[in-house]
C-alpha cells in the first residue's frame, strides 16, 4: 500500500472508532442500593440529621413481641406509627413495610414511610389534620414512598428546595454501617443529640449527661431483632477509657439491682445471664436476650386498646 493510500485508510479507521464511541453509552454510576439497613431512598434525608431510627414494620407486626407488648395503646409501641395514623389516617400495621425517622439539632423531624399508599385518601386526611405550631408538610416520592414532617426538611427530601443530603454526612453513615442490614429496628445518633435529649427531659435544663446519671456519650448504635425472640445490642462510645469503664460498672449495677427483685418476681432470677456488658477501650457494648417473662416483669404493659379489624 502506498503512502497516499494509507492516509484515507487511517482517516476511515478514525471515523469508524469515533462512531462506535459515540454510539456506546458511557458507563453509568450505580447508586448504592442501601447503606446497612438504610434503604437507598433514605439517602435523600437532610445531611444535618443527627439521629436516625428505622423499623421494619412488616417484621414488627408479624412478631410475637408485637402480639405481647406493642399493640396500640401499650408503652412499647413505636410512636411514629401513631403519629402517621393521627396525621394521615394511614394504618401502619396494614399498609406499611418500613419506617425511617430522622431528627435534627433544632427539633426538625421527618418520617419516611414505604408501603401500599392510597395517595388521594392520605392527601385529603393531611389537609384536614389539626394544625401544629411548626410548619409541617407531606410529599410523595413515589407511589410507594412518602415523607412527612418539618416543612423545610420535607422540601429538601422531595427536591423542592436544594440542600445537602445524607450522603455527605460521613460520620452518621459510618454509624449506620455498624447496624446489621436486616435489623428489625435500629437507632444511631451522636453525642450532641443525646445530651440535648437528656437536657430536655431533665428538671434542670443545664444537665449535660444522659438520664439516670449516665455520663455523656459521643455516639450510640442500637440494633435489634424480633424473631424468634427479642434480642438487642447497644454500642456506646464514651469520651475516654475511664468513662467507658464507669458506664459499664453503672450498667452492671442496674442489672444487679433489677435481679434482686427475683424474690418477688421469679422471672428475673436469670436476668444477669440474659444481659452482657463488655468494654473495649472507649466502647461499651450491651447485648441482651431477655425472655418474654423477664419483659413482663420489667415493663408495665398497660391496657392495650382494641386492635383495628383489617380492611380488605
H or E segment to which residue 54 belongs: strand 49-56
Which band of pLDDT confidence, cut at 50, 70 and 90, is reported for residue 29?
very low
Residue 79 has pLDDT above 90, yes or no: no
User: Strand runs (DSSP E) across 57-156, as ranges?
Assistant: 96-104, 109-115, 136-142, 145-150
Which band of pLDDT confidence, cut at 50, 70 and 90, is reported for residue 74?
confident
Overall average pLDDT of the 101-122 stretch? 94
| pLDDT at res. 108 | 93
238-266 burial: b if 16+ Cβ within 10 Å, else e: beeeebbebbbebbeeebeebbeeeeebe
Which band of pLDDT confidence, cut at 50, 70 and 90, is reported for residue 200?
low
For residue 123, what is its C-alpha cell?
392527601
Summarize pLDDT for 286-300 with one digit per residue, the tens.
999 999 999 988 876
Residue 232 has pLDDT above 90, yes or no: yes
3-state helix, strand, coil in the chain (%, to 5): 40, 25, 35
Rg (CA), the chain: 26
Residue 70 has pLDDT above 60, yes or no: yes
Average pLDDT over the chain reads: 82
For residue 123, what are the contacts with CB-CB under 8 A and spacing of at least 6?
138
Overall average pLDDT of the 138-144 stretch? 96
Overall average pLDDT of the 252-270 stretch? 88
Residue 214 has pLDDT above 70, yes or no: no
Residue 164 has pLDDT above 50, yes or no: yes
Residue 7 has pLDDT above 70, yes or no: no
How far is residue 17 CA from its own chain's centroid? 50
User: Strand runs (DSSP E) across 178-300, as ranges?
Assistant: 185-190, 217-225, 231-238, 275-280, 283-288
Q: Which of 136-140, 195-199, 259-263 has the lowest mean pLDDT?
A: 195-199
Residue 9 has pLDDT above 80, yes or no: no
For residue 227, what is its C-alpha cell?
424473631
How far is residue 146 CA from its own chain's centroid? 16
Residue 132 and residue 95 in contact, taking contact as beta carbons nearer than 8 Å: no
C-alpha torsion sign, points 296, 301, 306, 310 = negative
Residue 156 and residue 46 in contact, taking contact as beta carbons nearer than 8 Å: yes
Read off φ and ψ for residue 203, nearest 5 degrees.
-65, -40
Tell me whether strands 275-280 and 49-56 are parallel, antiparallel or unpaired. unpaired
Residue 188 and residue 197 in contact, taking contact as beta carbons nearer than 8 Å: no
Residue 4 has pLDDT above 70, yes or no: no
For residue 290, what are the contacts with CB-CB under 8 A and spacing of at least 6?
230, 271, 274, 275, 298
Q: Which of 41-45, 113-117, 193-197, 297-301 has the lowest mean pLDDT?
A: 193-197
For residue 11, what is its C-alpha cell?
482517516
Overall average pLDDT of the 214-237 stretch? 91
Residue 163 and residue 46 in contact, taking contact as beta carbons nearer than 8 Å: yes
Summarize pLDDT for 216-225 with one digit per residue, the tens.
789 999 999 9
Cα gap 51→32, rounded to integer Å: 21
| pLDDT at res. 97 | 96
| pLDDT at res. 19 | 42
Residue 137 has pLDDT above 70, yes or no: yes
| pLDDT at res. 195 | 63
Which band of pLDDT confidence, cut at 50, 70 and 90, is reported for residue 87?
confident
Overall average pLDDT of the 3-22 stretch? 42
| pLDDT at res. 75 | 82
Read off φ and ψ for residue 187, nearest 5 degrees.
-155, 140
Residue 54 and residue 186 in contact, taking contact as beta carbons nearer than 8 Å: yes
Which band of pLDDT confidence, cut at 50, 70 and 90, is reported for residue 199?
low
Residue 169 and residue 51 in contact, taking contact as beta carbons nearer than 8 Å: no
Amino acid at each position: 500500500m502506498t503512502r497516499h493510500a494509507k492516509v484515507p485508510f487511517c482517516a476511515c479507521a478514525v471515523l469508524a472508532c469515533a462512531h462506535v464511541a459515540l454510539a456506546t453509552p458511557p458507563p453509568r454510576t450505580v447508586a448504592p442500593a442501601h447503606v446497612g439497613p438504610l434503604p437507598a431512598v433514605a439517602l435523600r434525608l437532610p445531611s444535618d440529621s443527627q439521629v436516625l431510627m428505622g423499623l421494619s414494620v412488616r417484621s414488627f407486626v408479624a412478631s410475637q413481641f408485637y402480639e405481647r407488648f406493642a399493640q396500640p395503646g401499650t408503652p412499647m409501641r413505636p410512636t411514629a406509627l401513631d403519629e402517621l395514623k393521627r396525621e394521615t389516617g394511614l394504618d401502619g400495621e396494614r399498609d406499611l413495610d418500613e419506617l425511617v425517622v430522622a431528627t435534627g439539632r433544632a427539633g426538625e423531624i421527618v418520617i419516611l414511610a414505604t408501603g401500599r399508599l392510597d395517595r388521594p385518601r392520605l392527601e385529603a386526611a393531611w389537609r384536614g389534620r389539626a394544625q401544629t405550631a411548626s410548619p409541617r408538610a407531606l410529599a410523595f416520592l413515589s407511589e410507594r414512598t412518602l415523607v412527612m414532617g418539618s416543612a423545610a426538611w420535607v422540601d429538601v427530601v422531595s427536591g423542592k428546595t436544594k440542600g445537602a443530603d445524607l450522603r455527605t454526612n460521613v460520620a452518621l453513615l459510618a454509624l449506620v454501617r455498624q447496624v446489621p442490614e436486616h435489623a428489625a429496628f435500629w437507632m444511631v445518633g451522636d453525642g450532641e443529640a443525646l445530651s440535648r435529649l437528656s437536657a430536655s427531659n431533665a428538671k434542670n435544663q443545664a444537665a449535660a449527661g444522659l438520664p439516670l446519671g449516665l455520663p455523656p456519650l459521643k455516639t450510640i448504635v442500637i440494633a435489634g431483632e424480633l424473631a424468634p425472640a427479642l434480642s438487642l445490642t447497644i454500642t456506646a462510645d464514651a469520651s475516654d477509657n475511664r468513662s467507658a469503664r464507669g458506664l459499664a460498672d453503672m450498667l452492671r449495677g442496674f442489672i444487679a439491682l433489677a435481679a434482686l427483685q427475683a424474690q418477688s418476681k421469679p422471672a428475673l432470677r436469670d436476668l444477669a445471664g440474659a444481659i452482657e456488658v463488655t468494654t473495649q477501650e472507649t466502647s461499651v457494648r450491651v447485648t441482651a436476650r431477655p425472655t418474654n417473662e423477664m419483659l413482663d416483669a420489667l415493663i408495665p404493659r398497660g391496657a392495650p386498646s382494641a386492635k383495628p379489624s383489617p380492611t380488605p
